Amino acid sequence: MIILVINSCRSSLKCSLYEMPDDRCLAECAVERIGEGKAALSFEGAGRSWEEPSSAETHAEALDALLRCLSSSEGGGLEDLGEIAAVGHRVVHGGEKISESLAVDQEVIEVIRDNSALAPLHNPPNLTGLQAASERLPGALQVAVFDTAFHASMPPRAYLYALPQELYTKYHVRRYGFHGTSHRYVAERAAEVLSMCREACNLITVHLGNGCSAAAVRGGRCVDTTMGLTPLEGLVMGTRCGDVDPALPFFLSENLGMSPKESYALLNRRSGIAGLSGVSNDMREVIAAAGTGNGWAERALDVFCYRVKKYIGAYWAVLGTVDGVVFTAGIGENSPEVRRRACEGLEPLGLCLDERRNLEAVGCEAVISTPDSRTAALVVPTDEALKIAMDTYEVYLRESGSTVTE
């Protein structure tokens, strides 16, 4: 069975084609810089890859270009777009009403639209991609896979803010969490690597990329996470500040004359390791600059890793027993230096990093703790597109009443 996975963002649209239930990726393609007058299409699959300019000015035009690519003999090789049985869509925010991946109907569309205020940069383009796919692939089941769904299992003590209760009861102001599809995928894979039953495995999953978050996972269910009402809360990120004093925007307003919009831009786009280091939002460049004696780059690296370690310790207290600490995403999978600093000093809790294993684990799945470490440290490359394909396949079987694919 063929499943198409779509990730529709503000200025890009990415597609991955899977054969299920074999979990086999047939092709990946994307159109970047949509509407900027310099769009580009890239393709990789069947031993071929290329990039070329694209005339796409809208997400609908981008999807048309990608579907042509996937159905061409030089691209994905689909004989007919009718071969696509289902389309899985990444949707960032499902609010409180969504706790699982669902076939798209009008009610699901309304939930995505209603939560656009909480994810204004993500939900609207997610919905645009969904609507474009529904029009172009009317015979395929459309499935929405929500980033927030994995965190729906958090108890009130973890998701409530200490604010007047009507802000929650009337306006749903609470911690939602993000990167849920990634956390769920790596938690499930880590349990397999550790040869443990998912329901008996306690993990701290650490997603470190340009966006960063950590989650406490007890028995396969999230019980706490670092991101909050928006993706700004929690760990230090590429350009986002993470946790700061909530009074900071008022300080910026009173002392620097910043408007709310300007403060929002500063905290989201001009902060993080980019703002603190003055170098870049790319951790590789920050580490290189720190290595040449750049003091602010070293401070940014130190703050970034300290915050990760602090949340690992906090979630250790939440879980009580931790079977594994799992690093994933661009930095987590590829930076031995960040992992070393984040795990340094955790030996009394039972986590002992193996220096050689850690250095060798770059972009690959590995256990990086010592053989006698009571708690394992792991690197598990995330694969959100595959997880979306797996969820889409399961929803397709449920909706069609099937137990096996054709």
Active site residues: 147
- Residue 325: strand, helix, or coil: strand
Query: Using an 8 Å Cβ cutoff, are 213 and 207 in contact?
Result: yes
**Measured CA angle at 172 (ends 166, 174), to 5 deg:** 100
Nearest-angstrom CA–CA distance, 313 and 320? 10
Q: Confirm if 101 and 404 have CB atoms less than 8 A apart.
A: no
Alpha helices by DSSP H, 80-171: 106-114, 123-136, 156-159, 165-169
**Four-residue CA torsion sign, 244, 246, 247, 253:** positive
Asked whether the beta carbons of 328 and 208 are under 8 A apart, the reply is yes
Please name which of 328, 24, 367, 369 lies closest in space to residue 193, comparing C-alpha atoms.
Answer: 367
Structure tokens at 366: 């590995």
Listing DSSP states for 249-302 in one string gives HHHHHHHH---HHHHHHHHHHS-HHHHHHSS-S-HHHHHHHHHTT-HHHHHHHH
Report yes or no: 169 and 154 within 8 Å, Cβ to Cβ.
no
- How far, CA to CA in Å, does 128 sit from each of 121, 131, 389, 403? 12, 5, 19, 31
- Structural tokens at position 218: 């007890």
- C-alpha separations of 257 from 11, 115, 189, 254, 275 in Å: 31, 30, 49, 6, 19
